[in-house]
Structure 1
Amino acid sequence: TIICGHWSALGLYQQHNVHALDTGCLWGGQMTAFCLETKAITQVDFDARDKN
């Protein structure tokens, strides 16, 4: 199993035991979390303009 980020152009990708989780939070996309135990994905919206 491979879990990675830093590839926001790919977006959320989950195939062949690869979990790419970079969903562009820095660019106004969503913050994505992955639970290892349940394999559940949680995403929250993020406004890139709000630096606080």
Structure 2
Amino acid sequence: CCKFFALATDLQTNLFDGGKCDEEAHEALRLTFHDAAGFSPALAAQGLPA
């Protein structure tokens, strides 16, 4: 997870109204990271729901 610290810093500094953590920022991060956690290329390759 350490490789994401630089990304988190960049997002906090440069996006969403100067780093303001509002609902728009929360939704973007949730969509990008949390919702992608259930994706499995291995399952998709087997024809199972990813």
TM over 0.5: no
More strand by share: 1
More helix by share: 2
RCO comparison, higher one (Cα < 8 Å, 6+): 1
Normalising to structure 2: TM-score of the pair? 0.30
Larger-gyration structure (1/2): 2
